[in-house]
Amino acid sequence: MKYHVLFNPYAGNGLGEEKARRLNMDAELCFCDMTKLDSYAAFFAEIGPEDGVIIAGGDGTLNRFVNDTEGLSIPNDILYYAIGSGNDFLKDLNKEVGCAPFSIKEYLKDLPTVTVKGKTCRFLNNVGFGIDGYCCEVGDKLRQTSDKPINYAGIAIKGLLFHFKPRNAVITVDGKPYVFKKVWLAPTMNGRYYGGGMMVAPSQDRNDPEGTVSVSLMYGSGKLKTLMVFPSIFKGEHVKHTEMCKVLTGHEITVKFDQPTALQIDGETVLGVTEYAVSSRVPAKV
């Protein structure tokens, strides 16, 4: 069998091509830099329908693929080979870095959409708003001046202590508004993880038959209390602190902040955002 390996050279802290070419399979492999593809429609028209396609990259790579192929009917099986720096999608599926490529085509259907600044796109894992968006903003700046791995947990802790100021927010879930003060986090989650292993929404199921998503909030507390609770997010235990954490689940979610804040969509940063809206698709009943 023949596999076309679409790699993102920028994945894995710029080692995407090197890591992709380490892939060893008992099959013919054809490598292609996906950042140089002009048309996915042309690409899929040129390869055989029985050929497999392997996406080699991280969460941002998958996000780029699902949006660049929006509307295309793809007969080929789509596999994933994780070589990213965060790999939250991989972790959500209970798989380990270094595992063999596996089919992900079922996970690319009926994805939720997010609308920000008049633009709508699909997302695979999450839309982060609050200190998570701030972390991506700082991480992007550090990446421009250094090739060292980005320590997002360290950025978050410094942000909590010194730089990030919480916002007031209005969260609307399926038409019902909620008002929160001093919001530190307000991401909407399609999976459980973001930020390289933070279990922000431990009960979220990307295969939920109702197609719901969850907005997970950390709010109302001061810096020290938030800093004390924050590490528990890696095991999803922060939700036990019901006095400062709340999870709301639905299909239509709008988050409005009272001050512009950086936002991230599967790790890709959007600056100066005051509002985003998520819509999840409900699978048709058979």
Residue 210 and residue 95 in one domain: no
Within a domain: 285: no
**pTM for the full predicted model:** 0.90
* Cα end-to-end span (Å), the chain: 34
The CATH number for 274's domain is 2.60.200.40
CA distance 128 to 266: 8
Residue 90 and residue 162 in one domain: no
Helix, strand or coil for residue 26? coil
Residue 126 and residue 180 in one domain: yes
Within a domain: 10: yes
Distance of CA 163 to the CA centre of its chain: 24
Residue 78 and residue 129 in one domain: no
Helix, strand or coil for residue 62? helix
| Mean predicted confidence (pLDDT) in 116-127 | 95
Residue 94 and residue 122 in one domain: no
Within a domain: 82: yes
Higher pLDDT, 105 or 161: 105
Are 213 and 238 contacting, i.e. CB atoms less than 8 angstroms apart? no
Within a domain: 286: no
Helix, strand or coil for residue 132? helix
CA distance 14 to 84: 9
Within a domain: 145: yes
SS3 content of the chain, % helix, strand, coil (to 5): 30, 35, 35
Among the candidates 73, 108, 143, a domain finishes at 108
As a whole number of Å, the CA-based R_g of the chain is 19
Residue 18 and residue 103 in one domain: yes
What letter does residue 73 receive in the DSSP assignment?
-
Among the candidates 54, 80, 108, a domain finishes at 108
CA distance 241 to 69: 40
Burial class (CB in 10 A: 0-12, 13-18, 19+), 32: middle
pLDDT of residue 283: 53
Within a domain: 246: yes
pLDDT of residue 139: 83
Note the pLDDT tens digit of each residue in 182-228: 999 999 999 999 888 899 999 999 998 899 999 999 999 999 999 99
Residue 126 and residue 162 in one domain: yes
Q: How distant, in Å, are the alpha carbons of 72, 124, 170, 192, 223 from that of 109?
A: 12, 10, 30, 18, 40
Within a domain: 284: no
Residue 263 and residue 200 in one domain: yes
- State which residues form the domain around 60: 2-108
Q: Which region among 59-63, 129-133, 156-160, 170-174 has the lowest average model confidence (pLDDT)? A: 156-160
CA distance 106 to 98: 21
Residue 98 and residue 125 in one domain: no
Q: Is the pLDDT of residue 98 over 90?
A: no
| Mean predicted confidence (pLDDT) in 21-33 | 93
Buried b (16+ CB within 10 A) or exposed e, 124-156: bbbbbbbbbbbbbbbbbeeeeeeeeebebbebb
Query: Closest Cα partner for 72 from 122, 118, 23?
Result: 122
pLDDT of residue 1: 82
